[in-house]
Structure 1
Amino acid sequence: MTPKDLLLGLAIIFLWGFNFIVIHWGLNDLTPMMLGGLRFLVIAVVGSFFFTRPKTPLKWIVVYALTLNFGQFAFLFTAMTFGMPTGLASLVLQSQAIFTLFFSAMFLKERVRAYQLLSITVAAAGLAIIGLNNGDTAMTVLGFAITLAAASSWALGNVVTKAIGEKGYDANLNLIVWACWVAPIPFFICAYFIDGSDVMLSNLLHINWQTMATLAYLSIGASIMGYGLWNYLMSRYSAGTVAPLALGVPVVGLTMAAILLDEKVVAWQWLGIVLVLLGLMMNALGGRFFNSKA
């Protein structure tokens, strides 16, 4: 990468890593479903001025929105309100790479290679260590399990994205933005039945500048700018060069959570964190290594 593009890559890592801290702050003012619905509504409204509607059929836009947008963030935001620490959430969510391999093999009949099986085993061992050693931390088993559900939804969204591409449609920023018109619908429906209309109205009436700044960061910063820069790098370099940058996201998330939120991680969980990152790195870089040996 050129120095300029490397700086853009570092900007993405910070935008997405700090994103979890902003989510934590946002959940202090809004319920999980209201935060999700308003986030994607802002993306849709702002983004539609800059990106044209994709030619992707509506049914695929809906499936994309329900998995990658609604499913992932409804579970993630809920998990963070049920005892999933912000820093660990940024790491455990990256287990989507493991679930993506599994779902790709199941639904797309993609072959799983030996190095991928090894990377899955290593990362899964790390997740097990994190989940089983929560006695001295704020993490709950329920929060951990719901975060895994969020990662699974992200993985299903990845499979949907691949399927859209295989059918000859573009899975680019146009799709990302316009799918955001769909996501607020299930978010607000869930908010009505889970929170009640009075809580929904209270959330809207008590929006202040801090809430607006949170929504602006989550929608414009982390989503539109983050994915825009990511797609730019993907268009200039191979996936094997760009994808490993995502490994920096949980590093930023864990570090910022420790500094700003005073979150603690016990020694055994640090071992699990190292194993998860090692497994993700093996998965991201293994193809390049083994292909070079072929």
Structure 2
Amino acid sequence: MKPRDIALAVVVMAIWGFNFVVIETGLDHFPPLLFNALRFTLAAFPALLFAGRPQVPWRWIIAVGLVLGVTKFSLLFAGMAAGMPAGLSSLVLQAQAVFTTVFAVLLLRERPRALQVTGLAVAFAGIIVVATRSGTNLGAFLLIVGAAAAWGLSNIATRKASPPDTLRFMIWVSAVASGPLILLSLTFDGPAADVAALRAIDPEAVLALLYVALISTLAGFAGWGFLLRRYASATVAPFSMLVPFFGMASAAVFLGERIHALDVVGGVLVVGGILLGLKRTAVSPRPDVPRELATASGPT
């Protein structure tokens, strides 16, 4: 990779890692479902006016919108609101790689090689280490794991969609997700809580919304899509392992979160296992799965 593209990859990972700190901040101002609804509404509009027609079948836009936008991010925000630390959330969410492989085997009939199975087993062991350490909120932890599972399933839908323009695809996905999220927020957060949050909005809340919608979602996805168009996924995908590094580091600096020894052990196992599974001897995508999407990750 060219040095400027390496720098771009690192910047995108830093944006997505720091996003967990911003989410934590946003949740101090908004109920989880409302925050998620506002995020995708802001990401979709007015960008949708300039995005042009979607270039993939509607069924895949709707599928990714519901699974990624509604399910994954609602579970993530709910887990963090329930007490899962921002830094630890950025690490546990990487279990999406394990779920992506499992769903690829079940739904796409892919055949994982021994090295990939070994790597995913190591990564899963890291998740167990994090789950069983003292102080882990099990309920919040399971919500983040559920978010990782939804992310893995959405990766399969994205593979099938094969979007030629990832930014345009994400704008339409955001538009699909925004409507159901508004209804869910009114149902579960409640109109009173939503109105109170909107009336109490302040500059910090506005900045949090702008960051998660415009910088993390649109700018981050634009940069990631640019890299995937220029390089093979085997070259680009390992950079996603920097997300928990930036997530845990920024949470420690800006939120004062402590990094426990077992968190480090679990993190090394998760990141090491996933990198092992990304080696070229791992599973090859089916012919109908574009190479650049075979191991692609996505935004937080």
**Both structures adopt the same fold (TM-score exceeding 0.5):** yes
**Shift in Å, 1:75:** 0.3
Structure 2's unaligned 5+ residue stretches are: 285-300
Q: How does 1:39-188 map to 2 (within 5 A)?
A: 39-133=39-133, 135=134, 137=135, 139-165=136-162, 170=164, 172-188=166-182
Q: CA deviation at 1:59?
A: 2.4
Counterpart CA distance in 2 for 1:113 and 1:92 is 24
- The residue type equivalent to 2:244 in the other structure is P
- Give the match's secondary structure for 2:30: coil
Gaps of 5+ in 1: none
Kindly provide the CA deviation profile for residues 53-108 of structure 1, in whole angstroms up to 9, marking residues without a partner as x. Answer: 21323222111101111111000000001121100100110110000000011011
Q: Distance in 2 between matches of 1:189 and 1:290?
A: 40
Question: Do structure 1's residue 287 and structure 2's residue 280 form an aligned pair?
Answer: yes
Following TM superposition, by how much is the alpha carbon of 1:171 offset from its aligned partner in structure 2, in angstroms? 6.1
Shift of residue 240, structure 1, vs aligned partner:
0.9
Q: TM-score, normalised by structure 2?
A: 0.91
Aligned length: 284
The correspondence for 2:242, drawn from 248, 263, 266, is 248
Cα deviations by residue, 1:126-147 (Å, 9 ceiling, x for unpaired): 11011001x2x4x300111100
Identity %: 33
Q: Which amino acid aligns with 2:153?
A: L
Say which SS state the counterpart of residue 50 (structure 1) adopts: helix
Q: How far apart, in 1, do the equivalents of 2:55 and 2:269 lie? A: 41
Post-superposition CA distance 1:18-55 (Å, at most 9, x none): 01000000000001000000000001003214321213
Q: Distance in 2 between matches of 1:203 and 1:36?
A: 13
Contact preservation (8 Å) 1:164, 1:171: no
1-side partners of 2:158 and 2:59: how far apart?
13
Q: TM-score, normalised by structure 1?
A: 0.92
2:221 and 2:157 map into 1 onto residues whose CA distance is 17
Question: Which aligned segments of 4 or more residues in structure 1 are displaced greater than 6 angstroms?
Answer: none
Counterparts of 2:87 and 2:4, CA distance in 1: 28
Deviation at 1:230, TM superposition (A): 0.7
Deviation at 1:113, TM superposition (A): 1.2
Say which SS state the counterpart of residue 123 (structure 2) adopts: helix
Q: Contact 1:21–1:257 at 8 Å: present in 2 too? A: yes
Aligned-pair Cα RMSD in Å: 1.6
Quick one: distance in 2 between partners of 1:50 and 1:263? 40
Distance 1:289 1:108 in 2: 15
Among 206, 218, 221, the alignment partner of 2:200 is 206
